[in-house]
Structure 1
Amino acid sequence: MILEALGSAVLGLVLAWAALQRLSHRLPVRALVLATGIAGALFGDFVTHSALGSGTLLPSLIGAAVVSAASVSLLLRPAGRLRRRSVPA
């Protein structure tokens, strides 16, 4: 179980690092993104492990990757300026 959690944390770190490399201009501070990736992966692993039980390494890692990616995606800012169109009265 310790290795599963460690593997999930490393997976979350790798996913967050990849997001920083690809979308650094749209993400906040590096430390926040890395911490969010790790925390999301650990939470995803916990939820998947709780739902499926022990002995399911691959589904737990997939659950960790999904929740980690979703958590990091919540930190994304819009690409450009928000253009608001005024509605004619």
Structure 2
Amino acid sequence: MFLEALGAAVLGLALSWAASHRLPHRLPARSLVLSTGVAGGLFGAFLTHTALGSGYYPVILCGAAIVSAALLSLLLRPAERFRRRSATA
């Protein structure tokens, strides 16, 4: 169980680090992004472990990555180039 939590935290940290380097202009402060990635990884591992039980380490890490990516996507702001102004403004 300790290795599942450690692996999920490292996976969430890696996903959030990659997102913060790839999209720095669309994300808030880096500390918020990194902590959200780790928390999402841990929560995803907890959910998957609760649903499946122990013994499914790769599946648990996959669940951790999915939940971490979903939480990181909630932090994204729209890009400036896609904002349209109304014709009446």
TM-score by length of 1: 0.92
Moved over 2 A (4+): 84-87
Q: Over aligned residue pairs, what C-alpha RMSD do you find?
A: 1.2
Q: Which amino acid in structure 2 is aligned with residue 85 of structure 1?
A: S
Q: How many residues align?
A: 87
- Residue in structure 1 matched with residue 86 of structure 2 by the alignment: 85
Q: Show the 5 A alignment for 1:2-81.
A: 2-80=2-80
**Percent identity between the two aligned chains:** 67
TM-score by length of 2: 0.92
Deviation at 1:86, TM superposition (A): 4.6
- Which consecutive residues of structure 1, in runs of 5 or more, have no partner in the other structure? none
Residues in 2 aligned to 1:64 and 1:5: alpha-carbon distance in whole angstroms: 9
- 1:31-71 residue CA offsets vs partner (Å, 9 max, x unmatched): 00000000000000000000001111000000000000010
